[in-house]
Structure 1
């Protein structure tokens, strides 16, 4: 796929060379079914990347921010953060289907923490991430991130990467968004804009499987237990963390384990406990990390199946 666009605000490009196949099962008469693979058709969907448009994208970005921050979303001024993102319209992308006027299915951006340090919404988020990092089990994350975010390392410039997508979005749409952002950051630096980062802090979500508290009497003789192993909502995070100086998960402050296990049990013995996740990547490794996730997704067979 070529470059998404120039730095002109109204330009956009369809992902025509990289159509993402979404497999949909159908009956021979065209109706939906959960039938055999022989009845499967391929539906090609053209996802398009767009610059942010403040008149269109505010609500879509705010919804995805709420999903990204999960149980702790109510701690933040999501409206102010959404305004900042959509007004910074030459950096990052929204991903949509059919038309620019539709809500975003995915978004990606990077904010300069130092540049926006005095803005209450960014300051609050930076303080929150610093505190979560201090309590992380990853020693490097606890040691390095708080100083970078709270101004102790004044010579450092931290790019806070915010990215989220709807849960049923195919992973193949993501690498072009990251590649385009790399190009846009390079162009912004050439234009003397404040995007010459020393570090990138990528905020994401992961989850743990935990034993539900429901039906204990019914299941008391069963031995299903939580594995405790970290699972990824975004498969590319597992590859990107290989390039991180520090990476780790953190618990949300607004949700207890039992409540999450039951509310997100999803018809299975084990419940899901979402936890936050952050990765600190040095700027000189960031482009390599983006290239690596592109290769990972391309070779991972991650087409999305819906029924």
Structure 2
């Protein structure tokens, strides 16, 4: 990783040390075309990032995206521009290929997007079980716990190697914010993500039930499998609007035998740094 990005947005724009992750490949094979792509991390920019952030949030919440004020949530994320990152290619003015941020649930609980998420995640935690049902609703409603809601998503087929620097950068930014007496001293982190089951293709309905019973949970974000080892509780849940989803992309998933699920992990603050270091090692060893 490069040097830590400045928390001042204007200074960052002129800072040549902004984090850059290079995917460089060398090959002597004349038959192969090599494309070198530079992924860069940027602070959120209200003049550029609204539509890109909203699009990735819609992907993150899948069939249930319609339940939320995604415009308001996108604005909250962008306004908090010194915490979290966008990952882009070529230029800051482009749409984000990946996003990551953390929002203080208590600080924003009176705002519509967070109030919606508190109700939704509490309900889905009940459906997920696995320890989430006992802890998440209580923590989200508590005035004593300080819950950081972690939202991150990326385009499908983005290389996993770009993700650990985003997590490490966010930890650094949280530490700086706490030093500046800003409200980011969390007791818990609730990470919202996505997963899926492999099921029989919808083209062969007779095998669907048996395949669902035999399949295991898989992850759209491979690092989630490692991060959940550090979680106090974790589990998947069905989307409430799944039956109403008729988008072509959903139909294609079903036809290929992929059943999307919501997925969340509750991580105690004391274990969060270790979880981030673990996923960096995991992604590095899998590369």
- TM-score scaled by length of structure 1: 0.84
Runs of 4 or more consecutive aligned structure 1 residues displaced over 6 Å after TM superposition: 220-224, 257-262
Name 1:148's counterpart in structure 2: 139
1:238-276: CA deviations, max 9, x gaps?
0000000000001000013997998134764xx111000
Contact 1:161 1:201 in 2 (8 A): yes
1:10-89 to 2 correspondences below 5 Å: 10=10, 11=12, 13-16=17-20, 18-21=21-24, 39-89=31-81
Write the distance in 1 (CA, Å) between the matches of 2:98 and 2:82: 16
Give the whole-Å Cα distance in 2 for the aligned partners of 1:277 and 1:4.
Answer: 30
Name the SS of the counterpart of 2:94 in structure 1. coil
**3-12 or 122-131: bigger deviation:** 3-12
Structure 2 residue aligned with 1:282: 268
How many Å apart are 1:211 and its aligned residue? 2.0
Question: Is contact 1:244-1:279 (8 Å) kept?
Answer: yes
More moved, 97-106 vs 256-265? 256-265
Please say if 1:249 is aligned against 2:236: yes
For the aligned residue pairs, the C-alpha RMSD in angstroms reads: 2.7
Report the alpha carbon displacement of residue 120 of structure 1 after superposing the two structures with TM. 1.1
Secondary structure, in 3 states, of the residue corresponding to 1:126?
helix
Q: Partners of 2:132 and 2:154 in 1: how far apart? A: 25
Match of 2:186 in 1: 197
For residue 101 of structure 1, give the secondary structure of its aligned residue in structure 2: coil
Structure possessing the higher radius of gyration over alpha carbons = 1
Any stretches of 5+ residues in structure 1 without a counterpart? 25-36, 302-307
Q: TM-score, normalised by structure 2?
A: 0.90
> 2:34 aligns to what SS in structure 1?
strand
Correspondence for 2:9: 9
> What runs of 5+ residues in structure 2 fail to find an aligned partner?
none
Structure 1 residue 43 displacement after superposition: 2.2
C-alpha distance in 1, partners of 2:37/2:254?
28
**Could you tell me whether the CA contact under 8 Å between 2:19 and 2:40 is conserved in 1?**
yes
CA distance in 1 between counterparts of 2:25 and 2:209 reads: 37
Per-residue deviation, 1:150? 2.0
For residue 14 of structure 1, report the CA deviation from its aligned partner.
4.8
- The one of 125, 129, 132 equivalent to 1:133 is 125
Higher helix share: 2
Partners of 1:193 and 1:272 in 2: CA distance: 42
Tell me how far apart the structure 2 counterparts of residues 234 and 296 of structure 1 sit (CA, whole Å).
12
